Structure 1
Amino acid sequence: MKIQSEESVILFLVVWTMTEITRYSYYTFNLLHHLPYFIKWARYNLFIVLYPLGVIGELMTIYAALPFVRRSGMYSMRLPNKYNVSFDYYYCLIIVMLSYIPRKETFYFHVMRIYEKEDDPR
């Protein structure tokens, strides 16, 4: 199974692309001292929808990759080896996925605070 063909990959790539186009359009127009209202609005409002969609796309992609990672042993290191270290990428991915749960609101509201500071005219 190829993870690249998962719909979740398309989801987070579209979301990341929209985010970067908005961000760099904002920076460019701001540098030119001609910031259209729509670009400013998009910069400060689209993330409300795009951020959760990006997180969902990332988590769905990691979840889809789990069976392949487990079967293949990808990026895992088993004992015995010359480094005398064991690492299982499968469990690492599960920990990464679980770490999103307590941190999702923290990340989201952190981004909101950043945008509020950027928009503050002081």
Structure 2
Amino acid sequence: MKNYLSFYYLLQFCGNSWIFTNMTARLLFFGKDSFADTFYTIGMVMQACQLLSVLELLHILLGIGQQPFMPKLFQVTERLVILFVVITSQEEMQSKCIVCFLFFLWNLWDVIRYPSHLLSVLGTDYPALTWLNHTLWIPVYPLSLLAEVYTVYESLPYFESFGTFSYNMVLPFAVSIYFPYILKAYLTLLPAGMLYTCSHLFSERRLYLKVRNGKMKMK
């Protein structure tokens, strides 16, 4: 199982590192012009990495992952909804600057998070990386949630115009599903989920700092 987890975290690190490096290089070479085709350049790899992250929920259920289930469920679900439902389904959204910004924030944390988990599985502690993993999320995670909210807000006119995922079904009684209403309801849930996840991450950071300070006092 140790070998499997090591391979999984290494695979995720390689995928997210490729995305982050590609985005950074394109931004340096092409500037703002790189925003328009960010999704077309890295979208497939991003989709693969986010789909693979579903396995982290399975790891927890099988007892080989140490994180609580609900915070991880929220983190995985929010990204899948934004990436596949909001961005992928609306071609007009894929060239927006906010998509580039959002992908950058997601990968900025992931290129630190996955190698930190990999070293933990291997029984190796690199203090600077571990500290960064428990600290970088403080600015990055709330910013990514704001970017997700803005992405959903930007997508609403397209869902309203094209009627994507909106249906009128004739059953024994008429049922109408207007997807923009569902997205607006989803927007109200994001802040609550963020507060819950941040509370968990703060608890993890507090425990990490307590253990680290205890070790330093013993030296």
TM-score (norm 2): 0.49
Quick one: distance in 1 between partners of 2:204 and 2:166?
Answer: 37
Residue 99 of structure 1, CA deviation = 2.1
RMSD between aligned residues: 2.4
Give the paired residue count.
121
Contact 2:112/2:132 (8 A) holds in 1: yes
Unaligned runs of 5+ in 2: 1-90, 212-219
Does residue 44 in structure 1 map to residue 134 in structure 2?
A: yes
In structure 1, give the amino acid aligned to 2:115.
S
Question: Is the deviation greater in 56-65 or in 71-80?
Answer: 71-80
Contact 1:11/1:53 (8 A) holds in 2: no
Q: How far does the alpha carbon of each residue in 1:11-40 deviate from its partner, in whole angstroms, 9 at most, with x for none? A: 221111122221111011223333222211
Matched position secondary structure for 2:167: coil
Does residue 19 in structure 1 map to residue 109 in structure 2?
A: yes
Matched position secondary structure for 1:85: strand
Quick one: distance in 1 between partners of 2:120 and 2:192?
Answer: 35
Contact 2:134/2:204 (8 A) holds in 1: no
Quick one: distance in 2 between partners of 1:110 and 1:75?
Answer: 33
Question: Is the deviation greater in 68-77 or in 105-114?
Answer: 105-114
Q: How far does the alpha carbon of each residue in 1:68-121 deviate from its partner, in whole angstroms, 9 at most, with x for none? A: 00000100112446884321111100111122344432332222224444x264
In structure 2, give the amino acid aligned to 1:62.
V
Quick one: distance in 1 between partners of 2:119 and 2:189?
Answer: 36
TM-score (norm 1): 0.83
* Greater share of helix: 2
Q: Indicate the residue corresponding to 1:30 in structure 2.
A: 120
| Within-5 A mapping of 1:84-103 | 84-103=174-193
Matched position secondary structure for 2:108: helix
Quick one: distance in 2 between partners of 1:11 and 1:31?
Answer: 31
Unaligned runs of 5+ in 1: none
Quick one: distance in 2 between partners of 1:34 and 1:103?
Answer: 32
- Seen in structure 2, the aligned counterparts of structure 1 residues 92 and 65 have a Cα distance that, compared at 3 Å, is same
- Seen in structure 2, the aligned counterparts of structure 1 residues 113 and 90 have a Cα distance that, compared at 3 Å, is same
Q: Indicate the residue corresponding to 1:78 in structure 2.
A: 168
Quick one: distance in 1 between partners of 2:115 and 2:173?
Answer: 47
